[in-house]
Amino acid sequence: MRKQIMFVIFALIVTIPCSAKGIEPLDALKVPVDQVLGILQDPQYQDAARKDAQREKIWETIRQAFDFEIMAKLALARNWKKFTVPQRKEFTGLFAELLESTYVDKIQGGYEEEKILYLGQKMVSDSKARVTTKMLRSGVDTPIVYSMLKRNDVWKVYDVKIEGVSLIKNYRTQFSNILAQDSPVQLIERLKHKIELQKKNRTAKD
């Protein structure tokens, strides 16, 4: 399952939004693949001293692909109402940082020339779509479905399902369990602590 999660995140980073005018959601997923593959394959980043620069470049690309505000709101679900406006903003930033801290290292260390097949799209509404893909890696086919939202004429990802398992629902369950006992402030502090711990672990490995 851990390897499958890495597959999902890799697929996500090659999903960069394009202007929605005249561009279908599926096409918006396909266009930037070479950009991210180029970052992973660029010889200048083979030097260990350049890994941080590569990481920043990857994350710069990832940030453009996701609607973190919507993702944060969906991850909190009904608990979103418990957060003040400043807390919502802080949580959204931390949630995005958590995704970066959790997965970019796996992307850097786990790339093995995966291939992505784009199988089709289904328009849920004028502003929502699901794009079905399949990732091929070491002879293993991994089905991935992207939920996409169009805002300000740009398609962005707000959820991903791998073999029917939703990334957002997974976090929603975790956050719901925490907020059943703790306050929004305490959840925010938990995220800060987890992110800081991951940073320390990364530094220790360098």
Task: Give the pLDDT score at 102.
Answer: 84
The arrangement of strands across the sheet holding 140-151 comes to 115-123, 128-137, 140-151, 154-162, 165-166
In terms of Cα–Cα distance, which of 75, 84, 59, 90 is closest to 158? 75
Task: Give the pLDDT score at 38.
Answer: 80
pLDDT in tens, the chain (206 residues): 555 555 555 555 444 444 445 688 988 877 655 677 788 888 898 888 888 898 888 888 878 888 999 999 999 999 999 999 999 999 999 999 999 888 777 777 777 777 888 999 999 999 999 999 998 888 889 999 999 999 989 899 999 999 999 999 999 999 999 999 999 999 999 999 999 998 888 777 76
Task: Give the pLDDT score at 15.
Answer: 46
Which structural domain range is residue 86 located in? Answer: 2-205
Task: Give the pLDDT score at 16.
Answer: 45
Q: What's 30-75 look like in SS3?
A: HCCHHHHHHHHHCHHHCCHHHHHHHHHHHHHHHHHHECHHHHHHHH
Instruction: DSSP letter for 79, please.
Output: G
In terms of Cα–Cα distance, which of 66, 49, 89 is closest to 149? 66
CATH code of residue 185: 3.10.450.710
How many folded domains does the chain comprise? 1
Q: C-alpha angle with apex 47: 45 to 48, nearest 5 degrees?
A: 105
Buried b (16+ CB within 10 A) or exposed e, 9-43: bbbbbbbbbbebeebebbebbbebbeebbebbeee
Task: Give the pLDDT score at 186.
Answer: 98
Task: Give the pLDDT score at 49.
Answer: 87
Task: Give the pLDDT score at 73.
Answer: 98
